Amino acid sequence: MFLRFAWDPPHAGLARLVPGFSLSVINRQTLALSCLGWFFLGSLLLVLLGRTTAVLAIVLLALTLLNVLLPGQFTLARIAARLWRFLIYLTAGAATDYGINGTTVWSSLAMTLYVQGVHLYEQQSPTVSGLKRFAPTSWLVMPLLFACVINGNGYRLAAFFYALLLGLWIYWCIHDAFGKPHAEVQLAWAHLTTGIVLVDLLAVAASIDQAWVFFLCFFGALVLQRAAPVLFRI
């Protein structure tokens, strides 16, 4: 985000997200070099985790730079943004003891589709009605379908429970978007963003003694929405 602001400040929108931030505090060259340093350190940590994560780290870095340096309306930039969402989850899976397997790939795809749905809600106008307003929801429910189909007997019950939990959260977030002519779509988008934690929980179908970590992150994100709403554009 900071690198985008350093590269193209008029179109980055960072000043809208972080009030008071301006290039008068730090010059563009220092900001850009700092960002590249963070990229290097993050990539180095991934490289140390093995060959697969090293390759994915290089690809992620390339996609990040494409997404930042190319104008958003370019098709290549849009493809890079979607691949980035898929690969960052895949990279996390590669760093585990199990490595990349079928479940990791399906979970990466489910997360990508959910984030795409959240992104579509962010762009949606409050005056949109009918089937167009329903369209982003089809992306949001894909993780629920994947979880119910992919998880085996040992995890299916937990998957059903977490899928129901995520489904109820999605419904709670967007029900106003269907019931009112001028729905608060941006507020729904902020709450759907918090739901990413529930998608993570659904992906791993964690047992109760492990799920508390996800719920802690979930409620922590809700608290941040109240304490620092500008970070969620609400």
Domain boundary assignment for the chain: 1-100, 101-234
pLDDT computed for residue 39 by the predictor: 84
How confident is residue 19, by pLDDT bands cut at 50, 70 and 90? very low
Average pLDDT for 204-224: 83
pLDDT computed for residue 20 by the predictor: 47
Q: Is the pLDDT of residue 113 over 80?
A: yes
Average pLDDT for 148-155: 73
Tokens of 37: 């340093």
Q: pTM of the predicted model, to two decimals?
A: 0.72
Q: Is the pLDDT of residue 193 over 70?
A: yes
> Which helix (H) or strand (E) element contains residue 181?
none
Q: Helix (H, G, I), strand (E, B), or coil: what is residue 234?
A: coil
pLDDT computed for residue 129 by the predictor: 62
How confident is residue 168, by pLDDT bands cut at 50, 70 and 90? very high
Q: Is the pLDDT of residue 181 over 80?
A: no
Contact 207, 215 (CB under 8 A): no
Phi-psi region of 130 (alpha: psi -120 to 50; beta: other; left: phi over 0): left
DSSP, res 71: -
pLDDT computed for residue 185 by the predictor: 64
pLDDT computed for residue 234 by the predictor: 44
* DSSP string over 83-125: HHHHHHHHHHHHTSSS-S-HHHHHHHHHHHHHHHHHHHHHH--
